[in-house]
């Protein structure tokens, strides 16, 4: 699968861990940085991943910052992105199955490498269920277009 990946300084180490695992798993990963623990601004990295996903260059995106929230908020500003913070495997299954999330965000302060790996696996292998959820995603898309 084609994936876009990025982190800020707080998420750098977890991003590196995930990047290695994803590549070893046969995924094509575009890493948008950052490349160290030096302080950077998370919106710059979230927007790069979100644009890649929204424009079809990547099938899904993965973001990491301290809490996961700033990255998700930033990514959700890009039309067509449904980013959510993952905190458990079960929650990530719902994020994909019901919400058709295309970007997953992690809080490195709250998520270790093994947890993140398991959640990423669920994120990449869970299909959108469609059905009654299609109607809800259509309403989200309508909200996105308001004021544009």
Find how far residue 80's CA is from the centre of its chain.
13
Digitized pLDDT (tens) for each residue of the chain, 148 residues in all: 999 999 999 999 999 999 999 999 999 999 999 999 999 999 999 999 999 999 999 999 999 999 999 999 999 999 999 999 999 999 999 999 999 999 999 999 999 999 999 999 999 999 999 999 999 999 999 998 886 6
CATH architecture of 2-145: 3-Layer(aba) Sandwich (3.40)
Residue the block writes with tokens 């959510």:
84
What string of DSSP letters covers 34-88?
--SSS---HHHHHHHHHHHHHTTS-SEEEEEESSSHHHHHHHTTSTT--EEE--S
Select which of 9, 17, 27, 98 is catalytic: 98
The confidence score (pLDDT) of residue 148 equals 66
Select which of 9, 17, 27, 65 is catalytic: 65
The confidence score (pLDDT) of residue 35 equals 97
Find how far residue 138's CA is from the centre of its chain.
20
Q: Is 98 a catalytic residue?
A: yes
Give the integer Cα–Cα distance in Å for 116 and 57. 23
Q: Is 65 a catalytic residue?
A: yes
Strand (E) or helix (H) holding 94: helix 89-97
The confidence score (pLDDT) of residue 147 equals 61
Dihedral (Cα; 84, 29, 22, 74), 10-degree rounding: -20
Provide the residue ranges of all domains of the chain, joining segments of one domain with +. Answer: 2-145
């Amino acid at each position: 699968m084609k994936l876009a990946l990025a982190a800020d300084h707080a998420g750098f180490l977890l991003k590196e861990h995930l990047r290695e695992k994803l590549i070893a798993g046969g995924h094509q990963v575009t890493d948008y940085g950052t490349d160290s623990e030096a302080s950077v601004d998370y919106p710059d990295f979230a927007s790069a991943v979100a644009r890649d996903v929204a424009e079809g260059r990547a099938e899904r995106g993965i973001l990491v910052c301290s809490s996961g929230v700033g990255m998700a908020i930033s990514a959700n500003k890009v039309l067509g992105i449904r980013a959510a913070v993952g905190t458990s495997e079960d929650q990530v299954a719902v994020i994909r199955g019901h919400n058709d999330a295309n970007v997953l965000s992690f809080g490195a302060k709250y998520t270790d490498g093994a947890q993140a790996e398991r959640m990423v696996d669920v994120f990449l292998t869970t299909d959108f269920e469609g059905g009654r959820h299609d109607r809800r995603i259509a309403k989200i898309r309508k909200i996105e277009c308001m004021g544009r």
